[in-house]
Amino acid sequence: MILEQHQPAEKELYCAAMEWLDGHWDGAAGLIKLDPSLSYRGNTTKEQPLHYVRETAYYALGLFIRGETQKALIALDRVLLNQLTVRNTEPCGGFLRHPQETIVAPKKAVEWVEYNPNWREYIGLALAIILAEFDTQLPEEMRERTEEGLRAAMAGSLWRRVPAEYTHIALIKAFLLSFCGVRYDLEAWLEGGEMQGREIFRVFKEHHCFPTYNSPTHYGIDLLALGLWRKYSPSHEMQAMASEMETGLWEDIARFYHAGLSNLAGPYARAYGMDLRSYASPLGLCLWASLGKTLAPFPELSTPFPQQHELAFAIPILAAGVTVPSSLLGTFKTFGNERLIEKEFRKEAFATAWIGKELMVGGNTQPEEKRSHFHTAPAEYPATVHWNAGNGLGWFCAQASSGLLAKAAEKSLSIRTVPNSTVAPQGEPPAFKLLVHSPAPPILSLDKWVFPSLIVDVSSNFSFSEPVARGELFEIECTLPTPQEEGFISLNFRSNQCL
């Protein structure tokens, strides 16, 4: 991988990410050190900051690219030292999230709590790229350890069923199986990778999309994995499938993207927030690689920002050659036409969105019984509104774990709740919260909500509390008088500006 051959935006992203990672390098420990309040905390009660193993693996790759081989070898050594190697245990082949973690009884280790099984795939992809691009720079002992680490990670992954619907990890696993199958002359692994690849492709073809739909978090990882299929997979069949899925995914992203507001319209299957410019996301990095920092939906790196660990994904994203197709670049640079979107992403499950020049609205009509662990996450946003508030981005969203359906239409959004759903304990009135980000507190009345630059005409059988400030947000409680009643809210948007 020769950096000089990349486009200016890619070089800019690489230099910015590496400069930031350089600033978080703990030379004494040989690991990246981050603030867990802005990242994630694994199975440890240690005080901050913590050392981060996965992010160190990506930094090692970045150091190899920059030609700092000795420093890269130190980082790679520390990553491999944090691999879990107790045979005949569930975590075997995985990695600690932080060296500060301890797993007292590996045979009884609790998945997701004591260890994250996805670290096999996340760190495995970095090891694979290092071996593919820089194996001649590895001393013999380090090459053998890296090969053993990658092979152990995939051996552990083989015991874990990763369904095709769990797209981002399934994509990486399929790539690594094919890569390792050829590298280690294991025909069954290559066939297993291709078999999983075909199943992912079959699921994609059902609705020409992935089941975890419209996800700023997972989409970036999906694109990274598809780039790995395209560039590093030895399977020509997987390369061809990757090309079709990658194009289709970028087209979907472009359909929901608002260049003027620098955000995807909702609803979001998985997201860490409502504004891509306020937290780090893999999708934001993928867009930065083609658009440059000025146009990319990504926070400023000079001040602390949430999900900061995601910035390390820039390195494998660049290595995999993830870029926006040239035919779609204009869509991500300049707002185009107003549009109404209705997309069936699973059987009887629809995402709808209205995208106007100064407003975008999103709604998810996925029935509760159609959801599963792999299609829904606690951070789901089933009803969303973004608008140009004059001096910044305004937004609000309905937040509920289940039982809430929403549909967007031109300059409008309808929300309804399912009676006696799991939103509230059985027998209690349905309720959910509206979270609001606005330059000024909203003014609520029975039939009208007033925000800066936006007026919302309201028809509903819900009662709304006065907005309560929660940090930078306002929180509004929405409740019904009786649990048997189906709640509804009809919102129509207008403004002194042209929506």
Q: What is the pLDDT of residues 325-359, one digit of tens each?
A: 999 999 999 999 999 999 999 888 899 999 999 99
394 part of a folded domain = yes
Structure tokens of 445?
Answer: 């009345």
Please check whether residues 94 and 193 belong to one and the same domain. yes
Please check whether residues 318 and 451 belong to one and the same domain. no
> What pLDDT, on a 0 to 100 scale, did the predictor assign at position 380?
80
> What pLDDT, on a 0 to 100 scale, did the predictor assign at position 379?
40
Please check whether residues 277 and 363 belong to one and the same domain. no
Please check whether residues 299 and 421 belong to one and the same domain. no
Please check whether residues 309 and 363 belong to one and the same domain. no
The residue with tokens 């410019």 is 277
465 part of a folded domain = yes
The residue with tokens 């867990």 is 36
Please check whether residues 350 and 296 belong to one and the same domain. no
> What pLDDT, on a 0 to 100 scale, did the predictor assign at position 497?
58
Which residues form the domain of 134? 3-325
Of 303, 325, 347, which one is at a domain's C-terminal end? Answer: 325
Q: Across the chain, what does the average pLDDT equal?
A: 92
Strand (E) positions, 116-217? Answer: none
Sign of CA dihedral 119, 121, 125, 130: positive
332 part of a folded domain = no
Please check whether residues 315 and 360 belong to one and the same domain. no
How far does CA 477 lie from the centroid of its chain? 28
3-state secondary structure of 232: helix
Of 325, 345, 369, which one is at a domain's C-terminal end? Answer: 325
**Can you give the pTM of this predicted structure?**
0.94
Percent of the chain with pLDDT over 70: 92
Please check whether residues 136 and 168 belong to one and the same domain. yes
Please check whether residues 276 and 343 belong to one and the same domain. no
Structure tokens of 459?
Answer: 């028809």
Instruction: Spell out the long-range contacts of 154-163 with Cβ–Cβ below 8 A and sequence spacing 24 or more.
Output: 154/93, 154/120, 154/124, 154/180, 154/189, 155/92, 155/93, 156/91, 156/92, 156/93, 156/94, 156/120, 157/93, 157/120, 157/121, 157/124, 158/189, 158/192, 159/90, 160/117, 160/120, 162/196, 163/374
Mean pLDDT by groups of 10 residues along the chain of 499 residues? 77 98 98 96 88 98 98 98 94 96 91 95 98 97 98 94 95 98 97 97 97 94 98 97 98 97 94 96 98 97 97 98 97 96 92 97 74 47 94 89 84 84 51 89 90 95 91 90 82 75
The DSSP result for 241-303, as a single string, is: HHHHHHHHHHHHHHHHEETTTTEE-S-BSS-S-S-TTSS--HHHHHHHHHH-TTTSS---TTS
Per the CB < 8 A criterion, the answer to whether 216 and 199 are in contact is no
> What pLDDT, on a 0 to 100 scale, did the predictor assign at position 293?
97
Per the CB < 8 A criterion, the answer to whether 268 and 214 are in contact is yes
> What pLDDT, on a 0 to 100 scale, did the predictor assign at position 135?
95
Q: What letter would DSSP give residue 432?
A: E
119 part of a folded domain = yes
331 part of a folded domain = no
Of 297, 325, 353, which one is at a domain's C-terminal end? Answer: 325
Please check whether residues 264 and 347 belong to one and the same domain. no
| Nearest C-alpha neighbor of 361 from the set 394, 390, 328, 333 | 394
Please check whether residues 317 and 345 belong to one and the same domain. no
d(CA 483, CA 378): 23
> What pLDDT, on a 0 to 100 scale, did the predictor assign at position 407?
96
CA distances for 476 relative to 238, 316, 389, 438, 441, angstroms? 48, 41, 19, 13, 11
Please check whether residues 385 and 300 belong to one and the same domain. no
* CATH number, position 63: 1.50.10
Domain count for the chain: 2
> What pLDDT, on a 0 to 100 scale, did the predictor assign at position 402?
61
Residues sharing a CB contact under 8 Å with residue 225, sequence separation 6 or more, in sequence order:
125, 168, 171, 172, 175
Residues comprising the chain, all counted: 499
193 part of a folded domain = yes
For residue range 205-250, what is the model confidence (pLDDT) as tens digits? 999 999 999 999 999 999 999 999 999 999 999 999 999 999 999 9
